[in-house]
Structure formats: C-alpha cells, structure tokens
Amino acid sequence: MYTWILSTGWWINRAPVNPDAVVVVGFLCTCLIGGFIYINRVGLPKSTRKQSYQSMKLIMIIASLYSFWCASQIYWANPRRPAVGEEADLGVLVFLATYFLLPHGLCILSMNSEDLHTDHIPL
C-alpha cells in the first residue's frame, strides 16, 4: 500500500521506494499529530496565545526535521537518492508550504487573537 501512496510514476515492476523514508515520514507525521493533540487536549489549560505559539513551534520543528531528512538523502547519501520519491521535488514542497503550511500557520496565529490590554471601539 505504501508503495502506491509514495510513488506517482509508472514502473514495470515495483516502484523504487526507500523503506527508511516510510519510517521517517510516518514518525514525523505521528509526532505532528500527537503534538497537536498534546498541546490542545492533554496538557493543562493554557491561554490560546500560548497554545498557538506552541503549535507554530511544533510545525517549524517538524518542517525543519523533514528538510534535514531531504537534505541528508540528496546531498550526504552515497549514492544520492530521492528523499521520499517524486513527492520530494522542490515545486511540491513550495506548493505545500504556500497552500498548506502557511494557511494553517495563519489560522493558528489568528485563533482568539483578542488582546485584553487594548481599548476596543464600542459597537
């Protein structure tokens, strides 16, 4: 199943999938989802501003680890190999950052952004 998910090309035999990539990407996704659950549900009740800061920090850490994984597979592995198949192309990563991570980050930052220390105009 993971071969079908991680490969978008066509091969006569099996798709060339790196099993290490499956483990690393699965681990990073589990950490991201588990981190969101911990920040928003399991931990002690915190202010929304602190939760949004922790969520954004978690996204940045996971994105940095994924970028490190991609760089290690492309530049340090001998012979060079794609990090996660065709999905690791720069265009796909830029697309995901622009249309997935940026909107989610902005939503996280805008959650209950009411600041109690400023004067509001009465309606």
Please provide the DSSP assignment of 82-110 as one string: -SBTBTT-HHHHHHHIIIIIHHHHHHHHH
CB 86 within 8 A of CB 33: no
Say yes or no to pLDDT of 122 above 90: no
Pair of tokens at residue 6: 């991680």
What average pLDDT does the structure give for the chain? 74
pTM of the model: 0.59
Q: What residue spans define the domains of the chain? A: 16-110
Say yes or no to pLDDT of 10 above 60: no
- The stretch 113-123 carries a mean pLDDT of 57
Pair of tokens at residue 36: 């969101």
Residue recorded with tokens 């993971």? 2
Say yes or no to pLDDT of 19 above 70: yes
Pairs from 102-106 (Cβ < 8 Å, separation ≥ 24): 104/59, 105/56, 105/59
Write the pLDDT tens digit of every residue in 34-48.
888 888 887 677 787
- The stretch 76-104 carries a mean pLDDT of 71
Say yes or no to pLDDT of 113 above 60: no
Bridge partners of 84, per DSSP, are 86
Say yes or no to pLDDT of 5 above 50: no
Cα–Cα distance for residue pair 13/1, rounded to 1 Å: 15
pLDDT recorded at residue 61: 94
